[in-house]
Structure 1
Amino acid sequence: MKKAGVTPHIVHVSTAYVAGARKGVVPERSLDHDARWRTELAAARAARESVEWDSRRPAVLRRLLAEARKDHGKSGPQSTSAAAEERRKEWVENQLIEYGRLRAQSVGWPDVYTFTKALGERVAEETLIGVMPLSVVRPAIVESSLKHPYPGWIDGFKMADPLILAYGRGILPEFPGLPDGALDIIPVDIVVNATLAVAAAPPPVDEPAYYHVGSGARNPLTFRGIHESVREYFTEHPMPDGGRGQIKVPEWTFPGARRVERQLRTGEKVLSVAQKLLLSAPATKRTRHWQDDLTRQQDKVDFLRKYADLYGVYTEAEVVYTDNKLLALHRSLPADRVEDHGFDAAVVDWHHYLQEVHYPAVTATMRKATVGRRTSNSALPPLKRSANGGDVVAVFDLEGTIVASNVIETYLLARLCDLPRSGWPGELADLVRKLPRYLAAERRDRGEFLRTFMRRYAGADEAGLARIVHDRLGDALLRRSHPEAIRQVRKHRAAGHRTVLITGTVDVLVQPIAGLFDEVVASRLHVRDGRYSGFLESPPLVGEARAAWLRRYAENAGALLTESYAYGDSYSDRPLLEAVGHPIAVNPDPHLYRHARSRRWPVAQWKAYTLPVGDAFLETVP
């Protein structure tokens, strides 16, 4: 452009909120501050390096690793280490966010966004003043278009849109903000028109121009006013509640930021305690219903926390951004260009714009997405027939998934079959006495529990146990199976899928249902002179070891894991479930249920034949 004899005009787009945390009138001129952008940039880079080093200190890593072990220890060491590293990265991010926020607030800006925008203006001024014309355009809160290219157009959701949608969905019972404070909203096409007009009016090289593009100076919209408007809209046009009727929106009382913060902290503490209690509760239909309710409440609190931190300061603003210079530029337009190319915010009729343009545009996609939406994700996905035999695998866990029993119950069935009734009290008393030890091992590691519990088979006759399973125990175990599970296995076989059973149960106990599967992977007890020693022949396949086995099996069999299925009931099955393209949580424990719902996995509730355990004993022993 210089070779052509043209001096470029640089239009720098900033934000009206670049003025920082202040009250009163803000004129259209250069910012008055002493922040040095080079120093702040160097400090931010140094902070990044410092926080990275701090995140690797033993005290931090020890705490993060302990948290990861508590949640993921049963899945295996790789799952634990991956979770610990993810927590470390989150710790770094949170530390840097806090550093940036506090630094911005310490020099007069509410957040990093506005602070760095101010530094950006200073960079432009230092670089361009005296070199080429510079104009700085400072829009306020940009929202959907008033007219062009059509009413309601916007590229993505902007600041107010998530709040509007959340309110319409009943998620925001309150929000920090001053009822009489101006929420400076401006349609995007007015901002575009203003920016183009600014570009066509270059200032002198040594006198940069500054323009505010907002509505607060001459056509103010209060926070209370927009609340009344959005409440009126959602009262007349309520959002669907996923097939459960329509959502009734709350009415705000504007209690103030401090009270909202106290309510928010109280809610976070109560939900944290409730979550811990539910995760340790038995997995029942009622507790899963409570978990769903708790998750919805947690989503509301998380949303309120996020947006209160992000946007609370903008809804508490007591500032007016003057637009005298922008108005003068608008009035300089030829009369025939004002209708389509004007940018006077005073012409906006807020009732028309909000009720008939903006709200319908913002909610349209959400309304389509919620029409006919199921409130439960219990439906299983349809099975696709295997194009090539064996390229799809369906992997099933046993206890809690195929049968309504566990390793301890199966052992008892077998043991009491082999004992006279006079020996039952002693066996049951010994099991009860050692039960705390078994439960402690189960909480730490599934493999440790299996190794510990399998010692009870020490001395058992190998042939005798096989006879008990064949003659008596097999039918009882089949009666403890889930009919839906058996049908699902058969559906997979009919679809040409390879069916695999993976269990920590002793292989001889699995024989009654082994015929359903193409492959059975079970624990094998060491045998010496025809009797079990109580030790395993090889490490049990639990946690992430199951996923590793499946990956190797799929590689050898030529199966596609992305098209394959896995069924499990325990959070320790998570690595196995995540290894396939179609994971299904069956009768999940609280941890797995929460994880499955967060990942939108199907959740199946399969019931066994209602045969009490005591009746099973009586039917299998003389």
Structure 2
Amino acid sequence: MNNTPSAPASTENAEGAAPRSGGRRILLTGVTGFLGQAVLQSLLETTDDVHVTAVVRPKGSVAGQARLEQLLRKPVFSTWVERIGKDEATRIFGERVTALEGDLTDMPPLTEPYDVVIHSASSVSFDPPIDEAFRTNVGGARNLYEALLASGQDPHVIHVSTAYVGGISKGLRQEGRLVHDVDWRREYDSAQDARARVEAESRRPETLRSQMRAARLRDGRMGPKAVAAAAEAARRAWVDERLVDFGRTRAQSVGWTDIYTFTKAMAERVAEDLWAGAGHRVSFVRPSIIESALHRPYPGWIDGYKVADPLIMAYGRGMLQEFPGLADSILDIIPVDFVVNVIVALATQDVSRRGDDAYFQVVSGASNPLPFHEMVSAVREYFVTKPLEDDKGRPIVVPEWHFPAVEMVEQRFRAKEIAAKAGQKVVAYLPASRRTREWTSNLHKATTGLTTLRKYIELYRQYTKTEMVFDDANTRALRQELPASFLEQHDFDVTEINWRDYFQQLHLPAVTELTKAYSRAKAAQRTRAERPAPALKENADALAVFDLDGTVVATNIVQQYFAVVRATKPRRTWPGEIGGLLASLPGYLRAEQRDRSELIRLVNRRYEGYREQDLRELMNGELGRKIRASIRPEALEVIERHRAAGHRTVLVTGALDVLVEPLADLFDDVVATHMDSGADGVMTGYLATPPLVDEARGNWLRKYADRHGADLKASYGYGDSHADAAWLSLVGTPTAISPDLGLFSVAKKNRWRITDW
């Protein structure tokens, strides 16, 4: 490792090789992020002699260098590539940009000399688990500065932070070192310890019992392993939610709005203690809410939704009827190219600032304030003239906000949440049908939307109720020092921004296009799920596996039993049988909800005393013909199509084998339940083997496929029950047939085909 100070970029490096360019050498973190991409693009387009080394971690099988080269295909570089040509852009990129394979959580040694370090990497989520936030934002900064110290270099570090590092306050927020006595080392250690504490809490018996109860209610029909998996997933989600709460609450307890701003403040202290404290130069860039570009790389450029955009688009979709913000609060927004220009100025121009003069707030609130109500007015005007469309292509009418008190908005919102939850409970007890599935889907959308909106309200309320204004005196002074030739391409004078024009002509068209692209993708997914089944490919290795009840036939095992009663017992006994069945129905329904195999056992016990041969004769006669006639026409057509394609067709059912013999010729294999009989041929009421349902059917299917050399990924499955999800997930093409609400939810989540027969 090189422990000597960095030589100028024009000298040879430690290994004697000349640098690849004669200008400044810059180490850049966060290059794949929104700001990092724009910084790299600006350095390549507007300088001729800067070489950039970007810290990029491999992702899967894609190496860091390959990930870096992929950036050249992104929109941020499009205008530059078009102007100079693809070949020339590729050449310049290859000569002036290099990847340093690694990650700030595991920083590689810095063996090359650097004149400038731009640290823009961080987690930009407002509410991650506390340990993740500290590991990325604080631990990453610590690792970078320790690597720099170990290298013996003395580069100028440009540390990108946020204007909101000052925490919750009122009035003018000046530039300069933050005044607080929070120990970043102690906070970091506590945050990392939090996960172990919460993990231990999540394993307490009362916590686990609660999660297992919920998992049984939701996924019990899929089998015990599915219940265990769901309970464990719920435990992990509980841990993350608890750690998110830890972070939010800890941040607010020491005066910050959220864990993001808290950890960014701690990261500043890391830079001050480790780097500036060791006598090195560091400049802090504190942007406010970064949004789409005003000028460069082209007007309106943005890379995905940013901080304010989910709120804006929720309003445009008519989801936010009111919002508890202060109408006259200052919403501090800054175009991304203004932030880039300040960073490039500090990185490439001869600017010497230290101490409190080296903190640059790239903001608009002091010099060109944007009141919240003016932003809302501009947004409303845009969506009134250019409305978004709903799922049916109708224009969405946006509301007019009146900025009521927080309590009023909360009451209205809470009423909607209660109504949605009540609706879900009611629908859960209704019989499965096309209508109830539609209700379930609509209620799920409503509940998901309300959950998202509550997150938005909690997240953005602090930013739209602020009575804080960020000063930008240092940033304005920096601009005055820069040569006019530099400012021609890198100006950051916020007074030039006309906010109404910025939103209506640049930003809103950009984020609206993102929304429309997302909607088109969702519509394509729905189309794929709802389109007719594609033509089947001939494949002798494919299986076509069918459930019976509710899939191939519309009847169920209770109806099958009553059909046997009608065919074998005198009419005078029917009322008693019907009464007994009706009395047992509540128990059957509860058993069905708990475990389908329990229902199969309970119903099949009623065959005790029947002779197997008598039932077989019934199946060879009129009752068998009725069962054959009950096959759904759509099922018969699909079975025939699979057989024509050379697929091995298999019927798997919990019904008694003797009762499905009339269907045997339709399938290559029929796997059904067998009941023990005595020496006299009389059925005992007890099954010879456990019924093949839920995950038991899945285990059987794996073994069956192995035995027949079948390819499950090329195979097909058809089922109607939540219990069928366990084995449908094993085949490449699962289809939910007139599904119950449990299977409907699983199929929607996994984008399986759903159809009604």
Q: TM-score range by the shorter chain?
A: over 0.9
Identity %: 46
Residues 496 and 245 of structure 1, relative CA distance in 2, 3 Å threshold: farther
CA distance, structure 2, for counterparts of residue 321 and residue 87 of structure 1: 42
Q: 2:345 — aligned with what?
A: 197
Q: Could you tell me which of 515, 519, 537 is aligned with 1:385?
A: 537
CA distance, structure 2, for counterparts of residue 588 and residue 338 of structure 1: 64
CA distance, structure 1, for counterparts of residue 536 and residue 493 of structure 2: 59
Contact 1:378 1:603 in 2 (8 A): yes
Residues 45 and 370 of structure 1, relative CA distance in 2, 3 Å threshold: closer
- 1:249 CA displacement: 2.3
Q: 1:242 — aligned with what?
A: 391
- 1:204 CA displacement: 5.2
Query: Which region of structure 1 is more displaced relative to structure 2, 183-192 or 250-259?
Result: 250-259
Contact 2:322 2:403 in 1 (8 A): yes
Q: 1:99 — aligned with what?
A: 246
CA distance, structure 1, for counterparts of residue 426 and residue 712 of structure 2: 35
Query: Which region of structure 1 is more displaced relative to structure 2, 510-519 or 297-306?
Result: 510-519
CA distance, structure 2, for counterparts of residue 557 and residue 170 of structure 1: 55
Question: What amino acid is the match of 1:322?
Answer: D
Residue 292 of structure 2 is aligned to residue 148 of structure 1: no
Question: What amino acid is the match of 2:209?
Answer: R
Residue 688 of structure 2 is aligned to residue 541 of structure 1: no
Matches within 5 A, 1:270-419: 270-370=419-519, 373=523, 377-386=529-538, 388-390=539-541, 392-419=542-569
Question: What amino acid is the match of 1:196?
Answer: V
- Normalising by the residue count of structure 2, what TM-score does the alignment of the two structures yield? 0.77
Partner SS state of residue 620, structure 2: helix
Contact 2:6 2:155 in 1 (8 A): no
Let me know the Cα RMSD of the aligned residues.
2.0
CA distance, structure 2, for counterparts of residue 110 and residue 498 of structure 1: 61
- 1:497 CA displacement: 2.4
CA distance, structure 2, for counterparts of residue 365 and residue 492 of structure 1: 41
Q: 2:205 — aligned with what?
A: 58
CA distance, structure 2, for counterparts of residue 112 and residue 258 of structure 1: 25
Residue 229 of structure 2 is aligned to residue 82 of structure 1: yes
Query: Which region of structure 1 is more displaced relative to structure 2, 519-528 or 330-339?
Result: 330-339
Partner SS state of residue 685, structure 2: strand
Residue 379 of structure 2 is aligned to residue 230 of structure 1: yes
CA distance, structure 1, for counterparts of residue 248 and residue 520 of structure 2: 40
Residue 164 of structure 2 is aligned to residue 17 of structure 1: yes
Residues 150 and 557 of structure 1, relative CA distance in 2, 3 Å threshold: farther
CA distance, structure 2, for counterparts of residue 429 and residue 441 of structure 1: 19
Residues 440 and 291 of structure 1, relative CA distance in 2, 3 Å threshold: closer
Q: 1:619 — aligned with what?
A: none
Partner SS state of residue 534, structure 1: strand
Residues 409 and 308 of structure 1, relative CA distance in 2, 3 Å threshold: same
- 1:201 CA displacement: 4.6
CA distance, structure 1, for counterparts of residue 216 and residue 493 of structure 2: 60
Matches within 5 A, 1:110-259: 110-129=257-276, 130-199=278-347, 200-203=349-352, 209-259=358-408
Q: Could you tell me which of 708, 711, 717 is aligned with 1:566?
A: 717
Partner SS state of residue 437, structure 2: helix
Q: Could you tell me which of 179, 193, 196 is aligned with 1:49?
A: 196
Partner SS state of residue 752, structure 2: coil
Query: Which region of structure 1 is more displaced relative to structure 2, 62-71 or 253-262?
Result: 253-262
CA distance, structure 2, for counterparts of residue 558 and residue 238 of structure 1: 55
- Normalising by the residue count of structure 1, what TM-score does the alignment of the two structures yield? 0.93
- 1:83 CA displacement: 0.7
CA distance, structure 1, for counterparts of residue 616 and residue 181 of structure 2: 85
Residues 237 and 74 of structure 1, relative CA distance in 2, 3 Å threshold: same
Contact 1:385 1:497 in 2 (8 A): no
Aligned residues: 604
Residue 5 of structure 2 is aligned to residue 2 of structure 1: yes
Query: Which region of structure 1 is more displaced relative to structure 2, 217-226 or 398-407?
Result: 217-226
Higher relative contact order (CA 8 A, sep 6+): 1
Question: What amino acid is the match of 2:754?
Answer: V
Residues 538 and 380 of structure 1, relative CA distance in 2, 3 Å threshold: farther
Query: Which region of structure 1 is more displaced relative to structure 2, 361-370 or 79-88?
Result: 361-370
CA distance, structure 2, for counterparts of residue 231 and residue 378 of structure 1: 35
CA distance, structure 1, for counterparts of residue 609 and residue 473 of structure 2: 95
Contact 1:9 1:202 in 2 (8 A): no
Query: Which region of structure 1 is more displaced relative to structure 2, 104-113 or 519-528?
Result: 519-528
Q: 1:469 — aligned with what?
A: 619
Contact 1:23 1:319 in 2 (8 A): yes
CA distance, structure 2, for counterparts of residue 194 and residue 258 of structure 1: 41
Contact 2:434 2:738 in 1 (8 A): no
Contact 1:504 1:523 in 2 (8 A): yes
Contact 2:323 2:409 in 1 (8 A): yes
Contact 1:136 1:208 in 2 (8 A): no
- 1:3 CA displacement: 4.3
- 1:334 CA displacement: 2.0
- 1:87 CA displacement: 0.8
Q: 1:531 — aligned with what?
A: 682
Partner SS state of residue 288, structure 1: helix
Partner SS state of residue 313, structure 1: helix
Question: What amino acid is the match of 1:326?
Answer: T
Query: Which region of structure 1 is more displaced relative to structure 2, 31-40 or 337-346?
Result: 337-346
Q: 1:614 — aligned with what?
A: none
Contact 1:135 1:202 in 2 (8 A): no
CA distance, structure 1, for counterparts of residue 386 and residue 703 of structure 2: 54
Which segments of structure 1 move beyond 4 Å, counting only runs of 4 or more?
204-208, 374-377
Residues 235 and 384 of structure 1, relative CA distance in 2, 3 Å threshold: farther
CA distance, structure 2, for counterparts of residue 513 and residue 228 of structure 1: 67
Partner SS state of residue 94, structure 1: helix
Contact 1:137 1:213 in 2 (8 A): yes
- 1:207 CA displacement: 6.0
Contact 1:182 1:216 in 2 (8 A): yes
CA distance, structure 2, for counterparts of residue 3 and residue 424 of structure 1: 97
Residues 344 and 563 of structure 1, relative CA distance in 2, 3 Å threshold: farther
Residue 574 of structure 2 is aligned to residue 424 of structure 1: yes
Residues 352 and 496 of structure 1, relative CA distance in 2, 3 Å threshold: farther
Residues 416 and 223 of structure 1, relative CA distance in 2, 3 Å threshold: same
Partner SS state of residue 403, structure 1: coil
Q: 1:590 — aligned with what?
A: 741
Residue 174 of structure 2 is aligned to residue 27 of structure 1: yes
- 1:455 CA displacement: 1.0
CA distance, structure 1, for counterparts of residue 486 and residue 540 of structure 2: 69
Residues 250 and 501 of structure 1, relative CA distance in 2, 3 Å threshold: farther
CA distance, structure 2, for counterparts of residue 393 and residue 270 of structure 1: 44
Contact 2:375 2:500 in 1 (8 A): no
Partner SS state of residue 621, structure 2: helix
Contact 2:283 2:353 in 1 (8 A): no
Residues 119 and 277 of structure 1, relative CA distance in 2, 3 Å threshold: same
- 1:518 CA displacement: 2.0
Partner SS state of residue 45, structure 1: helix
Question: What amino acid is the match of 1:43?
Answer: S
Q: 1:612 — aligned with what?
A: none
- Any idea what the Cα deviations from partners look like across 1:400-425, whole Å, max 9, x if unmatched? 11111100001111121011222222
CA distance, structure 1, for counterparts of residue 252 and residue 402 of structure 2: 28
Q: 1:269 — aligned with what?
A: 418
Question: What amino acid is the match of 2:727?
Answer: L
Residues 235 and 449 of structure 1, relative CA distance in 2, 3 Å threshold: same
Question: What amino acid is the match of 1:552?
Answer: K
